[in-house]
Amino acid sequence: MAAPVKQYVYFYGFGKSNTEGDAAMKAILGGKGANLAEMANADLPVPAGFTVSTEACAYYSKHDSQYPAAMQAQLKAQLGKLEKLMGKKLGDPRDPLLVSVRSGAAVSMPGMMDTVLNLGLTDKSVQGFIKQTGNERTAWDCYRRFIDMFGDVVMGPTTGLTHHDFEVELHALKKKVKAKEDTDLTAEQLKELVATYKKVYQKKVKSPFPQNPLEQLDCAIRAVFGSWDSERAVKYREINKITGLLGTAVNVCSMVFGNMGNDSGTGVAFTRDGATGDSEPMGEYLINAQGEDVVAGIRTPKDLKDMANESDPMWRRVQKELYKIMSRLERHYKHPQDVEFTVQQGKLYMLQTRNAKRTGLAGVRWAVEMATGKDVFTGAAQQKLLSPKKALIMLSGSDLEQLLFPIFDIEAEKKAVPLVKGLPAGPGAAVGKIVFDAAKAEAMIKANKAEKLILVRHETSPEDVGGMWAAQGILTSTGGMTSHAAVVARGWGKCCICGVSSLDIDYKKKTVTAGKTVLKEGDWISLNGSTGNVYAGQLPSQSSPVIAAVVENNKEAGKHPIYKMYKQISDWADEFRKINVRTNADRPEDAQAARAFGAEGIGLCRTEHMFFEGDRIWAIREFILADDTKSREKALAKLLPYQRKDFEGIFKAMKNLPVTIRLLDPPLHEFVPHEKKEQDEMAKRLGVSPAQVSDRVRSLKEFNPMLGHRGCRLSVTYPELCVMQTRAIIEAACNVEKQGRVKVHPEIMVPLIGTVAEFEFLEKIIRKTANEIIEKRKAKFTYMVGTMIEIPRAALTADEIAEKAEFFSFGTNDLTQMTFGFSRDDIASFLGDYLKEKILPVDPFQHLDATGVGQLVEMGVRKGRSSRPQLKCGICGEHGGDPASVKFCCKVGLNYVSCSPYRVPIARLAAAQAAINS
């Protein structure tokens, strides 16, 4: 029996009986195709069409731009079905069917893929279009747009033909006939423009514009497939860490026309505000236009609310119908939607719906309001659409992180006079130097990461994503809240102001003029992405309401709606998560901040960071120079009171919570000077010869210091170091306990062991020292001794180590280094190549490698608990604050994750999401 033929092309439209697919098929149909099918199944007004699957794209990419064997026959059959149901034939000279060809991956990537509209128009079919519609102007307008898009999107990558080549001719014609807008051009003038466009096309492509509609369709499908691997698409996926997708689907959709006169138009709308999170629908539209006009930012569109004020009452009816459909879609998807629509001679068509991109602020507000049924700013009642669990699932760590962004100092902004005001498209405050070219912005940041830039453009396009990502903020003179700049910036949580039509931007002179003020490239400007105000110069910023309330204990900030939203999400997260969240903190101030963010202890206190403060660096340098035990002990005695005082402060700050303190880890060369001038100063300060200092510094040099004399190896060589640090920890605990009010839970951690023998050697010293002090001081607290698992051998022999160690903390920074054989300090020299060639999906130092390093973590937990069933296990590398890594830690049964103080809220959310999805 022959195997069934794989389906690559799926039909949608004309009701449920004709539609193949639904929203659940997003991986195969892409987000756009799956949602078009879902809307068609619900009998919403969707233009019929068909979707070529992402599997076909994957095949095309892997097989040297060849289609799968069955695809072309299916394409022909589905096109025939569309033609039959529509009663038209593609490119027919008498009554042509015209289609759009649009991309759509499983994950939304605004502006990253290419779109072609009005496909099927030829010199003959344009006459049939005129005959059937009676609208000569629309016909020639559609034809000139099609030549432009086809030339740019389909032929551009191989010939260098660009949209700009056509725009030059359009502007020349408008200037010649004194037309202000494209819509002012007459049918005859547009016909003239079509002839000019065909000459531009032939000059660059070296062949006439194709007159075979099936050839046009084939070329367009190949162009969309090819665009999946375009530089801008790859860069967008890298920036947004999008991996694991098959490719893009191709949606071939029967055309509806928003450019047929004043009873037609096109627009983009959101069921809720994507910038502020307000529950009122927002959007924009243009009358007598096609869809790309709105999202490309070429014309500044009208606000959706203005639709009811149009002179033709038809628009009020359309607005009412649109709002009704949008409400229905939000209830169905249980997520705010981003929709595209076209109105053709008074009839509304829905071209797309997808989960809306938004700022972190908007995302958190949506989640809270949709789950509580209450507006967080006004208290007004709303429809309750989500459970708290579903509300948490719709958020990301970066959403919460954006609530911590600084805002402009309120008093300073009150005194400042706005230069101009635009549309507030992206959140927060941004200050930087003006730069006009996206590629230049990208290069400047690559050269100096500390550079602060504001990208200023007429409008942005997908080619600009690298510079947009590099800049602190984005300012455009055209485009609206749904333009490319606005949508991409919102998705990144980046400050953005759009549609400042009063700005005169001159790329050649590298100036931007607002009224009488002229600013040059390199001048400073400040953007308030929440109000749309633009200021000349640098405005000072202040803490967000969340930071002010949590860290600075500002009671007024505690009443702010943004803080209340943060607290509600955090409370829900704590209700559902099953894993503890600790912090990495070395100072009492950091510990207090982390505790305020909800940390349940310290998972990593790095004692070496304390050695660099004040005079204590001279004590550790004296220790390093000493050449006998007695001299070393004398130097360490000077360090003891400093360390003890530090630990007292940390125990007090953590109030009754466990504190894991790592013994000295880095190699000793990090504590000595390497320049002659500084070495001479050290010699003078410590009363030794310069030669003695330089000789000792030279002796500390190692070929590979990260695998050298560091971690537990230091205390094996110098046991007195382990004694001093243990004394400082235990004496501090005794002092704090004696003061009352605070219970202490010290956990002493031995770093970088590879064998159980190393641990046993140091554990004896720690316990002997600690027990003598506790007995002498008659202290009541208990302490634990454990180790870091950061060498692969330790994970492999975890069962042996756990017979002695009371807890494990996985140091995934070093564990990643040693598992991959990558130096964390040197990986930057080749990581870009590895990511570009897909050798690695992500930076393994940012996101835990679940397959390799994760396997060692899982093995270490399993083997460790085989010897000690109640073994406490945690993670204290940088991965402890990465949401995906936190979810992995939950899966393998860790008791806690530990991260930097400001990542604690993100880790709490990720832990809750892991528990909900488990």
Q: Which two tokens stand for residue 872?
A: 């406490």
Calpha distance 160→173 (Å, rounded): 23
Q: How is 806-845 classified by DSSP, letter by letter?
A: SEEEE-HHHHHHHHHT--TTTTHHHHHHHHHTTSSSS-TT
Whether the CB-CB separation of 49 and 12 falls below 8 Å is answered with yes
Q: How is 596-617 classified by DSSP, letter by letter?
A: HTT--SEEEEEGGGGGGSTTHH
Residue type, 102: R
Residue-wise over 752-776: b if at least 16 C-beta within 10 A, else e?
bbbebebbebbbebbeebbeebbee
Sheet holding 347-355, edge to edge: 302-303, 282-287, 265-270, 337-344, 347-355
Collapsing DSSP to helix, strand or coil, 459 comes out as coil
The verdict on whether 876 is a catalytic residue reads yes
Task: Mark residue 850 as left, alpha or beta (left: phi above 0; alpha: psi -120 to 50; beta: remaining).
Answer: alpha
The alpha carbon dihedral of 167, 169, 175, 179 has a sign of negative
Q: How would you classify the pairing of strands 49-52 and 9-12?
A: antiparallel
Within 10 angstroms of residue 107's Cβ, the number of other Cβ atoms is 17
Q: In 3D, which of 551, 478, 579, 653 has the Cα closest to residue 890?
A: 579
Calpha distance 34→54 (Å, rounded): 11
The verdict on whether 484 is a catalytic residue reads yes
Partners of 787 in beta bridges: 750, 808
Collapsing DSSP to helix, strand or coil, 576 comes out as helix
Enumerate long-range contacts of 211-215, CB under 8 Å, 24 or more apart.
211/122, 211/123, 211/124, 212/91, 212/122, 213/90, 213/91, 213/96, 213/119, 213/120, 213/122, 213/125, 214/90, 214/91
Whether the CB-CB separation of 872 and 786 falls below 8 Å is answered with yes
Partners of 528 in beta bridges: 429, 533
Calpha distance 38→125 (Å, rounded): 32
Catalytic residue among 876, 889, 890, 899: 876
Catalytic residue among 219, 253, 335, 484: 484
Calpha distance 605→660 (Å, rounded): 6
Half-sphere exposure of 566 (CA within 13 A, CB side): 31
Active-site annotation, residues: 484, 876
